[in-house]
Amino acid sequence: MSHAATAGDHGHDDHDHKPPFFQRWFMSTNHKDIGTLYLIFSLTMLFVGGAMALVIRAELFQPGLQFVDPHFFNQMTTVHALIMVFGAVMPGFVGFANWMLPLMVGAPDMALPRMNNWSFWILPFAFAILLGSFFVPGGAPASGWTLYAPLTIQGGMSVDMGIVAIHMMGISSIMGAINVIVTVLNMRAPGMTLMKMPMFVWTWLITAFLLIAVMPVFAGAVTMLLTDRHFGTAFFNPAGGGDPVLYQHIFWFFGHPEVYIMILPAFGIISHIIPTFARKPLFGYSSMVFATAAIAFLSFIVWAHHMFTVGMPLQGELFFMYATMLISVPTGVKVFNWVTTMWRGSMTFETPMLYAIGVVFLFTLGGLSGLMLAITPADFQYHDTYFVVAHFHYVLFAGAVMAMMGGTFFWLPKWTGHMYNETLGKIHFWLTAIFFNITFFPQHFLGLAGMPRRYADYPVQFTEFNQWSSVGAFGLGLSQLLFVYIIVATVRGGKKATAEVWENPEGLEWTVPSPAPFHTFDEPPVVK
């Protein structure tokens, strides 16, 4: 049924007419509701994956095995990462895209609304399979989130469940990405040229391109795993002429762009928050766009920096080292642009701004440790130690997840029509930032001193920093309960938000009332 057919029954200007519960939440074609579903899903997964991280941290509190056996520990590591990456961060950003892209480009909805809903609904089922694998004989996949062959060839049924779950997540991501690209390229309001698009739209456009380019490659990699496991192929079996390292190449051809898939939308969000609270336009808009594109381009030719120790030929190692180092240049451009946006602004420090500043600060720290990892000879020492773990939690948690938190506070009034409690928001920021650093900063030292990652147990000299890290992790976890409380409280009530919410923010999303009506931009706005 179309709106055309039902328009008569529903009356004309009833922008807020919402369908009954089941129809609204399970059959939705509304980008805002689907966005909400994505965001709730993402938050849930953050807790599930976080709970697993807490199991890891509990076991690592002291040397020796206190709580779980090593096999279960490996399952925790693996599923923690898969859940966080594919369940928390990626869907989280898709949620933001769903909510904000149509509002930002002045479109009535996403371009392909039913497919949009399908993209979402695949996810709960995919994760049901992934989490269900805990209950089959042998437990969940235990080979690390990278699922390296031949370790995965050894695993039990859970590996197959993991693989089909990944296929489903891939289908979901590809459909979601197609939707984003089509919406952005086809549904912009008249007058909104590409170079007038808000940064978040740009970063998502490029992210979507990355997704479509690499998710199928990942699907191909795990398909080869599956046939090696069950149908006698020898892609990764040297006896038959294959190579285990081939898996790594294919995986990281996906895996490296994947990490930028998780950070570019965060860059987009930051690029909205900082100008708003600096009361000054974003510095260097066009260089921001080009830097994002450059990062995306480079991300395709650096993958083997995850594999410096597999014994590549020297020329290969040099090439991948140089290419990886180059990514620092466009990323640096972004950081400098943000700092310059703040320069001589008139800043206030509401929660979203605190988050944005925190993200820039901590992401840069993580980015610089990434640059250290890129230096091949040094990476021989860092590789597969907690130094790497520290690096990627700085860019992933402090970069991606904290950007999502900042984005949530930034747009929550628009979504719910209520202002959140500013004091609690600030407390949440400080708790998160401090506990985050207690958790992950010591891991740098652990890694340098030689603690390998994916270890259920470790030599005694690593005890102290692990204890800091574990205490920090529990603090970090508990602090997130406050996050949930603030959101729930804001949904249920609070000071009414104005349409603009903040002082003179830029963008179409601030021209519609708060909460944003169920349907917006039936008539496309005109952008000058």
Enumerate residues 287-306 that contact ligand HEA by CB under 6 A: 305-306
Question: Which of ligand HEA, Cu ion, other proteins, none does residue 105 bind to, with CB < 5 to 8 Å depending on kind?
Answer: none
Enumerate residues 416-445 that contact other proteins by CB under 8 A: 445
**Cβ contacts of 144 within 8 Å, gap of 6 or more:** 74, 77, 78, 81, 151, 454
Provide the β-strand partners of residue 306.
Answer: none
Q: Which of 38, 145, 338, 455 is catalytic?
A: 145
393 binds ligand HEA (CB under 6 A): yes
249 binds other proteins (CB under 8 A): yes
CB 435 within 8 A of CB 472: yes
Indicate which single residue of 221, 419, 476, 497 sits in contact with other proteins (rule: CB under 8 A): 221
Query: Is the link from the previous residue into 108 a cis peptide, with omega within 30 of 0?
Result: no
Segment contacting ligand HEA by CB under 6 A, of 85-93, 117-125, 500-508, 517-525: 85-93
Helix ranges (H only) for 231-284 are 244-278
**Nearest CA to 223 among 213, 210, 211, 236?**
236
Annotation says 119 is catalytic: no
Please spell the DSSP secondary structure of 144-211, one letter per residue: TTTT-TTHHHH--HHHHHHHHHHHHHHHHHHHHHHHHHHHHHH-PPTT--GGGS-HHHHHHHHHHHHH
Between the alpha carbon of residue 62 and those of residues 41, 76, 464, 471, the distances in Å are 33, 17, 8, 11
Annotation says 306 is catalytic: yes
C-alpha span between 50 and 37 (Å, rounded) = 20
Question: Which of Cu ion, other proteins, ligand HEA, none does residue 439 bind to, with CB < 5 to 8 Å depending on kind?
Answer: ligand HEA
Alpha carbon 46 to chain centroid distance?
Answer: 11
Burial string for 427-458 (b: 16+ CB within 10 Å, else e) reads ebbebbbebbbbbbbbbbbbbeeebebbbbeb
Contacts with ligand HEA, 143-162, as mask; x by CB under 6 A: -xxx----------------
Indicate which single residue of 205, 327, 486, 501 sits in contact with ligand HEA (rule: CB under 6 A): 327
**Cβ contacts of 519 within 8 Å, gap of 6 or more:** 15, 30, 108, 109
Enumerate residues 153-192 that contact other proteins by CB under 8 A: 153-158, 160-161, 163-165, 167-168, 171, 174, 177-179, 181-182, 185-187
Phi, psi of 452 (to 5 degrees): -70, 155
C-alpha span between 458 and 64 (Å, rounded) = 7
Contacts with ligand HEA, 439-458, as mask; x by CB under 6 A: x-------------xx----
Q: How far is the CB of 279 from other proteins (least distance, A)?
A: 4
CA torsion 440-446-448-449 (nearest 10°) is 170
Q: Is 315 exposed, middle or buried (0-12, 13-18, 19+ CB in 10 A)?
A: exposed
Enumerate residues 451-470 that contact other proteins by CB under 8 A: 452, 454-465, 467-468, 470
525 binds other proteins (CB under 8 A): no
Question: Given the complex with ligand HEA, which of 457 and 522 has the nearer CB atom?
Answer: 457
Question: Given the complex with ligand HEA, which of 388 and 419 has the nearer CB atom?
Answer: 388
Enumerate residues 58-87 that contact other proteins by CB under 8 A: 58, 61-72, 74
Annotation says 469 is catalytic: no
490 binds ligand HEA (CB under 6 A): no
**Nearest CA to 384 among 340, 447, 317, 321?**
447
Q: Which of 36, 119, 173, 520 is catalytic?
A: 173
State both tokens at 325.
Answer: 């180092």
Indicate which single residue of 139, 275, 367, 425 sits in contact with ligand HEA (rule: CB under 6 A): 367
Q: Which of 31, 167, 188, 256 is catalytic?
A: 256
CB 420 within 8 A of CB 489: yes
CB 346 within 8 A of CB 280: yes
Enumerate residues 245-264 that contact Cu ion by CB under 5 A: 256
Segment contacting ligand HEA by CB under 6 A, of 105-113, 185-193, 362-370, 402-410: 362-370
Binding site for ligand HEA (CB under 6 A): 46-47, 50-51, 53, 56-57, 77-78, 80-81, 84-85, 88-89, 144-146, 259, 262-263, 305-306, 324, 327-328, 331-332, 335, 364, 367-368, 370-371, 373-374, 379, 382-383, 388-389, 391-393, 395-397, 399-401, 439, 453-454, 469, 473, 476-478, 480-481
Binding site for Cu ion (CB under 5 A): 256
Query: Could you list the active site residues?
Result: 80, 109, 145, 172-173, 256, 258, 260, 271, 305-306, 331, 334, 453
